[in-house]
Amino acid sequence: MLKLRGGRTLYYGKGDVLSYRTYAAPLAVKPIPESPYAGDENIIFAHNIKFSVSGESLLTSFTEGDNSQVVATDSMKNFILRETSNYGGCTTEGLLAFLAERFLERYPHIDELAIEADRLPFSAVTVADGGGWSASDLVFRRSHNEHAGASLRWRREDGGAKLLKQESALSRVQLIKVRGSSFYGFVRDEYTTLPESHDRPLFIFLDIFWTYENAADAIDGGRGKYVPSEQVHDLAHTVFHSVHSPSIQSLIYAIGQRILVSFPQLSEVRFESNNRTWETVVEPADPASAGVYTEPRPPYGFQGFTLTREDLSEGNGRT
Ligand SMILES: O=c1[nH]c(=O)c2[nH]c(=O)[nH]c2[nH]1
């Protein structure tokens, strides 16, 4: 949240700015053992952007109805859309940094801004190419599955723009593991009705956020240290597949450790998870046989956890 000196909150801006940029620079990343992902041609580089500004100079627009310093949110939308064509890089974080820095240059009375985006994923369709199959470079399908995101906060300082906060994201992951998860040993008392489970079908909703040690690695994909959400997703799959989890709490911690080990350029990884474990209708005779489940009823449980590099050192009291 954007705040003025003295702690007063003041901001305004535009959300849901839908920007479909074509032919951004291609992104190439180092492969990791858990993922075949090596980059993106960025033929479609599309985002849903949210943008807001703050500053002492805007106070009278609220207190006195003085619009003389107000950049209309309609103009913000135009700025974002038009300037997106001038972005020469290949990452969402880079696009947001480019827009933020240009905006602060263009409007010197704005002190602080927040900009965030969800990447709108489009994947190439597979086409027959005379005997085989290949990925089209012309036709793409809109995906409504998990996607990347990023958020940045900037403040004008000493005439330049200073990055205050950076977070990248993988949002709306939905994964089901049909067996190999348990939940038992929890507090049992007069309020407990949940049976212990030694092998449950575990369905989780997951959002994963990460922060770089050096934000330049997120902003400039050419430095070779960009962490693509696709690799984060593949790491999460791999851990979910391979560990027997005693709880979602323990599962997200294991995924977080693996992410920090794989990507030494990150300082922090954060999780928000949601338990959507299917409700059992017909119990399977043994875990690998036919069962029938249905959607769980609300309310849903959730978990949150932030890991730092300390979580990788021995004797941190958490492992
Ligand atoms: O992985 C879980 N963690 C919990 O804290 C919890 N609580 C609950 O009812 N089911 C689960 N599952």
Percent of the chain with pLDDT over 70: 97
Range 259-274 average pLDDT: 98
Pocket test of ligand 1: the residue of 186, 202, 244 to mutate, having most ligand atoms within 8 Å of its CB, is 186
Residues with C-beta less than 6 Å from any ligand 1 atom: 183, 194, 247-249, 275, 301
Range 85-98 average pLDDT: 98
Q: Which helix (H) or strand (E) holds 281?
A: strand 279-282
Residue 99 has pLDDT above 50, yes or no: yes
What digits encode the pLDDT tens for the residues 62-87? 999 999 999 999 999 999 999 999 99
Ligand 1 atom closest to Cα of residue 194: 9
Ligand 1 atom closest to Cα of residue 251: 1
pLDDT at site 3: 66
Q: Hey, is 43 helix, strand or coil?
A: coil
- 4 Cα to the center of ligand 1, angstroms: 40
- 317 Cα to the center of ligand 1, angstroms: 22
Strands across the sheet with 202-212, in order?
12-22, 44-54, 112-120, 147-157, 160-177, 202-212, 266-275, 302-308
All structural domains of the chain: 5-168 (3.10.270.10), 171-312 (3.10.270.10)
Cα separations in angstroms, 2 against 52, 62, 112, 115, 272:
8, 15, 7, 11, 23
What digits encode the pLDDT tens for the residues 143-183? 999 999 999 999 999 878 999 999 999 999 999 999 999 99
Q: Which residues are catalytic?
A: 14, 73
pTM: 0.95
Ligand 1 atom 2, closest CA: 247
ipTM of the shown complex: 0.98
Contact at 8 Å (CB) between 281 and 293? yes
pLDDT at site 190: 98
pLDDT at site 1: 57
What digits encode the pLDDT tens for the residues 176-220? 999 999 999 999 999 999 999 999 999 999 999 999 999 999 999
Contact at 8 Å (CB) between 316 and 288? no
Q: State how far the Cα of 295 lies from the Cα of 235, in Å rounded to an integer.
A: 26
What digits encode the pLDDT tens for the residues 214-246? 999 999 999 999 999 999 999 999 999 999 999
Residue with the two structure tokens 């038992």: 184
Pocket test of ligand 1: the residue of 175, 177, 183 to mutate, having most ligand atoms within 8 Å of its CB, is 183
- 207 Cα to the center of ligand 1, angstroms: 17
Q: What is the mean pLDDT of the chain?
A: 95
316 confidence band (pLDDT: 50, 70, 90) = low
Biggest CA–CA distance in the chain, Å, is: 72
pLDDT at site 196: 97
Cis peptide before 246 (omega within 30 of 0): no
pLDDT at site 8: 84
pLDDT at site 319: 47
